[in-house]
Amino acid sequence: MTAESKVGIAAAIEPVIATQIHTSSAGLLASDILVPTADGNIPAYVALPDGEGPHPVVLVVQEIFGVHEHIRDVVRRFAHLGYLAIAPELYVRQGDVSQLPLIEDIRRIVATVPDAQVLSDLDATLAWATSHSGDAERVGITGYCWGGRITWLYAAHQPALKAAVAWYGRLQGEPTALQPRSPLDVAGELKAPVLGLYGGQDAGIPQDSVQKFLFALNEVGSASKVHVYGEAPHAFFADYRSSYRRVAAEDGWQRALEWFRQHGV
């Protein structure tokens, strides 16, 4: 495995702000790899400690902007804490969103990505990780924005998960043929406890949908929890964007790590 990534921030982000965090790969094994799936290989970025495993596994699910430098940085942050962290490219069959200048163009591609494909690719990524120094008994997942929604769905799909952390992922929506279910639909099917982290000022995820989701979790006696940062907008963890809120982001990161520890990841 090689060290530093040369991938930048997605072209649709303008401008990138000075708060962007840069985490070194020193002391890590970090590389772009190919993950075998049911219909060919997909790219992924992986980082893990340069030492004997097995290491607990964290699947890192991309934002709508793909596996760009911010997501890669998050992978390295987990690796420095002892995890094998891996972020697969989950849109690769539909197109490369990293160089698209407009969010509308990215959304058009993302709308063509089947949930079934994504869940299958995450299964394949997990299989790769657990056959390359990852501990199959200590598996977690976290995702941001688009990946936050996927995190909830994967927690209802994969019984090997011990815990999950979903950052401001959409909780409900109109079903489509490719995305037939929402987190609200699977609230009673979660196979691992999920911590949801949301912004109270998120214009795209209104608080009434968060409250409706909380009610659904309570109805089934779920161990999952949701924490809302009242003054935070959407994407408050994205340190390279104007939406970044340092206090909420740092608190959310610590809550995420404690959630994983609490549940054996």
Q: Determine which one of 73, 115, 121, 202 is catalytic.
A: 202
* Distance set, CA 161 to CA 35, 58, 141, 234, 255 (Å): 19, 10, 8, 26, 18
Can 239 be counted among the known catalytic residues? no
Can 132 be counted among the known catalytic residues? no
CA distance 242 to 89: 25
Can 234 be counted among the known catalytic residues? yes
Q: Determine which one of 68, 234, 239, 263 is catalytic.
A: 234
Q: Determine which one of 145, 157, 239, 263 is catalytic.
A: 145
Query: Which residues are identified as catalytic?
Result: 145, 202, 234
